Amino acid sequence: QVQLVESGGGSVQAGGSLRLSCAASGVTSSVNYMGWFRQAPGKGREGVVVIYMFNGITWTADSVKGRFTISRDYAKNTVFLQMNGLKPEDTAMYYCALSPPPVRRPLVPDEYNYWGQGTQVTVSS
């Protein structure tokens, strides 16, 4: 059974940084799409940044480009999200997600089979 375990959320002031981690276990292959999605209160879940574990190609939402970076440890089925220049509008529950290929729309939540429990990120002004 695939499990995703996230860590690294917390509270920070605007302009600060946080680093999230997500480790996948129970996967039968390392060739997966893994990424981060977020959901703010009263809003739908949205894609933030996704990486194709096999070759490292990434997809990033316009709202976080230049501020958020995803990286991977292919051997450990782990992804990291480095968040810099955080803004109050980045406040949300952040979820790690995984799906084997094919994934046609990497930033669309419906494409993903497996989800972590979420980690809260709060940015104060």
Over residues 103-120, mean pLDDT? 97
Res 30 pLDDT > 90 = no
**Measured between alpha carbons, how far is 118 from 116 in angstroms, rounded to an integer?**
6
Cβ(50)–Cβ(28) below 8 Å: no
Give the per-residue pLDDT at 66.
98
pLDDT in tens, 54-91: 999 999 999 999 999 999 999 999 999 999 999 999 99
Give the per-residue pLDDT at 21.
98
Percent of the chain with pLDDT over 90: 98
Secondary structure E strands in 16-102? 18-25, 33-39, 46-52, 58-60, 68-73, 78-83, 92-99
